[in-house]
Amino acid sequence: MRSCSIYQNMIQEPMNASNQFDGDEDIFSHELGNIEDYSVSTRLGRGKYSNVFRGRQKNGELCVVKVLKPVRIGKIMREITILEALKNGPNISQLREVVRDEDTGSIALILSWAENENIRSVFNRLTTNDIAIYIYRVLQALEYAHAHNIMHRDVKPGNIMFDPDTKEVSLIDWGLAEFYSPGLEYQVRVATRHYKGPELLLNYTKYDTSLDIWCLGVTLATLLFRKIPFFRGHDNDEQIVKLASVLGAADIYSYCDKYSLSLPTKVASEISGCQRKSWSNWINKNNKDVVTNEALHLLDKMLIIDHELRPTAKELLGHPFFNNVRDQ
């Protein structure tokens, strides 16, 4: 077990405390926990903005230690503020406290621990009931977040912790999350390409919380058809083509017309003539036991091209697909 004091060696990008937080020291002065209360071991993940480790408190309790890379203070404070707003929300990773290494200037978020098994390794074990629980509990998390005007903006299997034994679910990594206010423009360079909604792919900046519904819809398709990722484009333009090859081009054209969006000439040419396909094209001997009519109906509701027409998380929680798991 390694001490938190070696964060600098782990991330190799120490924050310059004198520059990074110049004028902002008071923001953390009353909130910081004691870094010596934690130790870290296994690296769980590495991203553009952070490195994530398995950690342990002095009392032996497991936790997640998210060491933030050097970024502007506003981004750090936004993530902390969002996590604080989501405190006690269902199936959401919980912020325990914020700590800082005075030697390196590194800021770390101490988050609740959640057991997880890689989704690829459990594909063949998931039942229809398991998938319903998985999606239902993420929808509960999103309903809570959206009620607090927060968009996650990176929903995908990699950010959903799932314990196949206990069926516990936790939506993690709120680093790209943002507060939503109607009419404001937002950065479209968010989410992971294979899960991006058409609004992002077509550079529509006034999107809203319905983006998360699309991303979860793609996740549902991934689980039902055991195909990860379900839409695999090598860039944003090809991703649009992949959407059209399944959902048809007509709704994409209508979407562009409605919101005055430009469809790249090459993309328009490639998707011309694309018709919507039946989900039966993706049902095979490996997944036919988990795909139900209710599941496909839910998928249709979530993967609607026009974001304004997608149901809310609250509405989707009442879908018949969840009738057998609602009280579990």
Q: Are 56 and 38 in contact (CB under 8 A)?
A: yes
Cα–Cα dist 183/11, whole Å: 38
CB 152 within 8 A of CB 171: yes
Which positions make up the binding site? 75
H or E stretch including 52? strand 50-57
SS3 for 310? coil
Q: Are 196 and 239 within 8 A, CB to CB?
A: yes
Dist CA 99 CA 84 (whole Å) = 15
Q: Comparing C-alpha atoms, which of 277, 271, 268 is closest to residue 303?
A: 277
The answer to whether the peptide bond before residue 198 is cis (omega within 30 degrees of 0) is no
The 3-state secondary structure of 225-247 reads HCCCCCCCCCCHHHHHHHHHHHH
Contact residues for 14 (Cβ-Cβ < 8 A; gap 6+): 7, 8, 70, 104, 105, 106
Is the distance from CB of 285 to CB of 206 less than 8 angstroms? no
- Find how far residue 311's CA is from the centre of its chain: 18
Binding residues for ATP: 75
**Catalytic residue annotation:** 154
Q: Which bin fits 47, alpha (ψ -120 to 50), beta or left (φ > 0)?
A: beta
